[in-house]
Amino acid sequence: MTGGSQRDLSEVDNGGRRVVLGVTGSIAAYKAVEVCRRLVDAGFHVSPVMTADATRFLGAATLSALGSEPVHDSLWSDADPIPHTALARSADVILVAPATATLLAKYAAGIADDLLTATLLATRAPVVACPAMHAEMWEHPATVDNVATLRRRGVVVVEPGVGRLAGGDEGAGRLADMEEILAAVDRVLTPQDLAGRTVLVTAGGTREPIDPVRFVGNHSSGKQGEALASEAAVRGATVTLVTAADRPAPAGVTVVRVDTAAEMESAVLERAATADVVVMAAAVADFRPKAPAGEKLRKADGVPDIVLEPTTDVLAELGRRKRPGQVLVGFAAETGAVRAGAEDKLRGKHLDLVVANDVTAPGAGFGHDTNAATLLDAGGRWTDVGLTSKRELARIVLDVVWARLSRQD
């Protein structure tokens, strides 16, 4: 299944890149407030452009206060004598959220009768359109044709979601989830160097049942694996995330949820053979109770004797099965000798890259949004990554993966 992205654009250095945020006359215009805020927080320079109908749903003063500059709403009264070309040329991306059926129709037909449509026709920047309208309008053949035309011309259309619409109706047409919109912006600004590749990522800590209530587990949150899956998807890969973490699914990623080490083993080995890249970021239990109780263990019955047995070493099995050209990445959660642990895991499990970290270091390891790690590749090259966001560490890891894939092509 797919769902909302875990991508946090604030974790990326956007270098003041400019977004023209177009807002049209939809009841969903109020959601543009959050879009604008998130983009500014992420370091983008946001130039809001509102149509006349948009101001019926949302006051221009709101976006003027939240954006990087006051709202632009007219071809004729703007401070710039040619506002549409100035906006079009300065934009790194144009995002229209929400985009009405009228906006889609005019853009597809090449009609430029207001500032937003004129800017769209004048730009050479990528355009992301996020439709929002009633289901009947979204499904109308004219809208279907207009969307197809825009996509053929290279416009990225973020499909509306299904749910409650204005007036209490239900159906397709509500503005896409915030994370999906932000992921689309991220994607058009990111080189698609992993396009055509299939990437399998694991995340989270498995839980091995003691009884129907209790389990043996670990502190893994799944954040690093999810960051890797999101980064790979943004870079164009077809991504499957096998996760034991109970967190929202990243946008554009197929998610397989598991609980135990055995379930993780089955899901991963079933899919690994067709993957170009396998990244084992999950904390898979090394041991599990040999005979889980069928009913809840009672304190009154005394302290139970829990006998453990080893689980399958999934990463080692992947190393044994690794096909030519496949890149296998392992993670080593250490509490001391990070480099020694990395060397042992790289050699012993036939890895192409190992990412090792000291989970006791401040700000690193389980549960944090940041991490620090040491990378060791099969050529013996070490890379130390200081404390940074887990998304930035994911980017660095996948840069190494991409370089290895490129050398093999």
The residues that are catalytic are 218
E-assigned strands of 13-60? Answer: 18-23, 45-50
d(C-alpha 358, C-alpha 116), whole Å: 51
Q: To which residue do tokens 């050479």 refer?
A: 124
Angle at 355 between CA 350 and CA 356, to 5 degrees: 110
E-assigned strands of 263-402? Answer: 277-280, 287-289, 308-310, 327-334, 353-358, 370-377, 382-389
d(C-alpha 250, C-alpha 263), whole Å: 21
* Cβ burial 53-81 (10 Å sphere, 16+ → b, else e): bbbebbebebbbebbbeebbbebeebeee
d(C-alpha 320, C-alpha 133), whole Å: 52
Residues counted in the chain: 409
Q: Is the peptide bond before 98 cis (omega within 30 degrees of 0)?
A: yes
Q: Pinpoint the alpha helices (H) of 322-389.
A: 338-348
Q: Which of 214, 323, 216 is nearest to 277 (CA)?
A: 323
d(C-alpha 396, C-alpha 76), whole Å: 47
Phi-psi label, residue 168: left if phi above 0, alpha if psi -120 to 50, beta otherwise: left
Q: Which of 210, 400, 206, 402 is nearest to 313 (CA)?
A: 206
Query: What does the block give as tokens for 148?
Result: 């197809």
Q: What is the DSSP string of 144-167?
A: HHHHHHHHHTT-EE---EEEE-GG
Q: To which residue do tokens 């079933």 refer?
A: 270
Q: Which of 214, 208, 225 is nearest to 262 (CA)?
A: 208
